[in-house]
Amino acid sequence: MSAPTQPNDIVENFTTQDQDGNTVSLADHVASPVVLFFYPRADTSGCTIEACGFRDTFTQLRKAGVVVLGISRDTVKAQKKFAVKYDLQYPLLADPDEKICDYFGVIKPKNMYGKLVKGIERTTYLIAPADSEGKQRLLHVWPKVKPEGHAEAVLNHVKNAG
């Protein structure tokens, strides 16, 4: 499976657990557009800004028919703590084995305090509802996201595209 990087690329189904331990699959959301945002680590400064931005735009995104899913390499327990602390009302998906992150190609080398480490490059995907063949396709990608104002930019894109 190659990473979906361009509009109209097929996005393969994936399955993992959310912050409550529920099994969540992309295929659960074939009838709606999905905003899937990858963030490096729960409860860190930039990730908190981004996640709270989606919290604050969540009602408007839902009114537009969009499903919001956040995802990182954190555990179910860490995602739960993050969701509760900031009252995040959308699923936070746990990908501690990095399978989903690897599929989307968001694990990149980063320089942290002079040391090369691998981490998630903050990236957001807008995925279309399933087509007549049951395939979900990429509509838009926001690479190298800056957390401030990002959720509002996604909301504006969704409103203007609809």
12 located within any domain: no
Residue bearing tokens 């327990």 = 77
16 located within any domain: no
Catalytic residue, from 47, 68, 94, 101: name it: 47
157: tokens are 């894109």
82 located within any domain: yes
Q: What CATH code is carried by the domain that includes residue 90?
A: 3.40.30.10
List per-block mean pLDDT (blocks of 10 residues) for the chain, which spans 162 residues.
82 97 97 97 94 98 97 98 98 97 92 85 96 95 96 96 74
8 located within any domain: no
- pLDDT for the residue numbered 112: 75
Q: What is the pTM of this model?
A: 0.95
- pLDDT for the residue numbered 7: 87
Number of domains in the chain: 1
Structural domain including 102 reads 28-161
101 is catalytic: no
DSSP the chain: -PPP-STT-EE---EEEETTS-EEEGGGGTTS-EEEEE-S-TTSHHHHHHHHHHHHHHHHHHHTT-EEEEEES--HHHHHHHHHHHT--S-EEE-TT-HHHHHHT-EEEEEETTEEEEEEPPEEEEEPPP-TTS-EEEEEEE-S--STTHHHHHHHHHHHH-
* Nearest of 43, 54, 35, 39 to residue 149 by alpha carbon: 54
